[in-house]
Amino acid sequence: MSLTVLLVEDDAELRATLRDALEVEGYRVFGAASLADARALLAHGLAHEAVDVALLDLGLPDGDGESLVQQLRTGRGVPVIVLSARHGDVQKVRLLDGGADDFLVKPFSLLELLARMRVAMRRRGRILEKSATVCVAVRISDNSFRRLTRRSASGALTVTLSKNRSTGARSSASA
Ligand code: CA
């Protein structure tokens, strides 16, 4: 069962890049470009679905992402990682005190984001709830991905090779 990510980011290019990268890592990604989008997703598409981690941009077209922290954390117990271009210590401390689990200043490395997501979910017991899944992804070329997934909970090794995501063609092997 894959982990679900709510990605709130108004920069379309960054949102697409993060979505691709996270999907390669095996996450299910729900993207929102504004506070209104995110609230609509939480109220409808994700109403009955556990969100395992939220990545939240602060500068959104219809307001500050900060206003969503409370709803995500208190309302749904979702770990929140703030992604921001702002460096201010005051806001950072306020966000962390206000319930955000972590804060990453843009630009950040994908590896660091993935590591912090794991930490935030581990702290909240999100990873242990589902089978521990370790994914290794290698980007071969723009549209070709190779995905190796090891499911340690069942002791089974599942290898999924995905040639081209747009065609959905893939082959699987289990051992
Ligand atoms: Ca922004």
Residue whose C-alpha is closest to residue 17's, from 62, 55, 61, 65: 55
Q: What is the pTM of this model?
A: 0.72
pLDDT single digits (tens) 76-123: 899 999 999 887 889 899 999 999 999 999 999 999 999 999 999 998
Ligand 1 center–CA 8 separation, angstroms? 9
Ligand 1 center–CA 151 separation, angstroms? 35
Does the structure show a pLDDT above 90 at 134? no
Ligand 1 center–CA 106 separation, angstroms? 10
Query: Please, what is the Cα angle at 93 between 89 and 96, to 5 degrees?
Result: 140
Does the structure show a pLDDT above 50 at 151? no
pLDDT at 9: 97
Mean per-residue pLDDT, 116-145: 62
pLDDT single digits (tens) 159-174: 444 454 444 444 444 4
Ligand 1 center–CA 86 separation, angstroms? 10
Ligand 1 center–CA 91 separation, angstroms? 16
Residue whose C-alpha is closest to residue 29's, from 39, 41, 13, 40: 41
Ligand 1 center–CA 59 separation, angstroms? 4
Ligand 1 center–CA 93 separation, angstroms? 19
pLDDT at 17: 96
Ligand 1 center–CA 57 separation, angstroms? 6
Distance CA 160, CA 173 (A): 7
Does the structure show a pLDDT above 90 at 36? yes
pLDDT at 85: 87
